[in-house]
Amino acid sequence: MESKAIYNIESNSMCDASVIYISLLGNLPDETLLYLLSKKITEVMQMSKEELLELKGITPKLASRLISVFKVHEMLVQERQEQRTIIQSPDDAASLVMEKMRRLDREHFKVLLLNTKNQVLSFETISVGTLNSSVVHPREVFKVAIKKSAASVILLHNHPSGEPAPSREDISITKRLIECGETLGINVLDHIIIGDGKYASLKEQGLI
């Protein structure tokens, strides 16, 4: 896997969520409306139901509707992206997941599953950990890869600190997963660590 030609990303469009989102905010008090409109939709989408309910004028019913709209939107965006995305480089992979992972407050270990043409089959969450660690077992990674008939995988996890520098543990688990993948005939192309607007590719850094 060459570091610049391994793994084309088309930008996310938020227009699907925007129309429904704004229509649902129509009857809110001005202070709440101005607060929400001052934020990016992606930021509001990451708010929990409890956080939404703390805002004046948002009822449990409205909070549930907002969360449902956001979940459906995320699913549709992901499906559209995955259907036409070919991963040719670490930058492609990081660009695809950056907005989904950069602000997570816990470590999430995820995988991009690819076919033989490096087209994305699926983007899956394997585990959710603590502020500074995520627990991942090779069995869980390759179970989903086998289920989706993936030819190769790209490992991804975020650092809530915003700094993507790989730890010794990151390197160790990557090497272990590479070995398991070789046994199963599933190529582990890279392990990308997501920070806040930046990333680190273990492949590019020569660590694997």
Domain-terminating residue out of 57, 80, 103: 80
- Give how many domains the chain has, as a whole number: 2
Helix (H, G, I), strand (E, B) or coil at 15: helix
Do 154 and 68 fall into the same domain? no
Instruction: From first to last of the 208 residues of the chain, give the pLDDT tens digit.
Output: 444 544 433 334 445 566 667 777 778 888 888 888 888 777 888 888 899 999 998 999 998 888 888 887 777 766 665 566 889 999 999 999 998 898 898 999 999 999 998 999 999 999 988 655 567 889 999 999 999 999 999 999 999 999 999 999 999 999 999 999 999 999 999 999 999 999 999 999 999 8
**Domain boundaries, position 157:** 86-201
How many angstroms separate the CA atoms of 82 and 77, rounded? 8
Classify 31 in phi/psi space as left (phi over 0), alpha (psi -120 to 50) or beta. Answer: alpha
SS3 for 48-112 is CHHHHHCCCCCCHHHHHHHHHHHHHHHHHHHHHHHHHCECCCHHHHHHHHHHHHCCCCCCEEEEE
Residue 80's nearest CA partner among 145, 154, 153, 11 is: 11
Q: Which two tokens stand for residue 69?
A: 């709209």
Do 110 and 183 fall into the same domain? yes
Do 113 and 59 fall into the same domain? no
Do 188 and 113 fall into the same domain? yes
Do 129 and 143 fall into the same domain? yes
Residue 115 belongs to some domain of the structure? yes
Residue 8 belongs to some domain of the structure? no
Do 28 and 129 fall into the same domain? no
CA angle (201, 202, 207) in 5-degree steps: 155
- Within 10 angstroms of residue 91's Cβ, the number of other Cβ atoms is 18
How many angstroms separate the CA atoms of 186 and 208, rounded? 16
Which residue matches tokens 């805002």? 55
Q: Residues 144, 175: contact at Cβ < 8 Å?
A: no
The reported pTM is 0.61
Do 105 and 158 fall into the same domain? yes
Name every residue whose Cβ is closer than 8 Å to that of residue 111 and which is 6 or more positions away in sequence: 123, 124, 126, 141, 144, 145, 153, 154, 155, 156
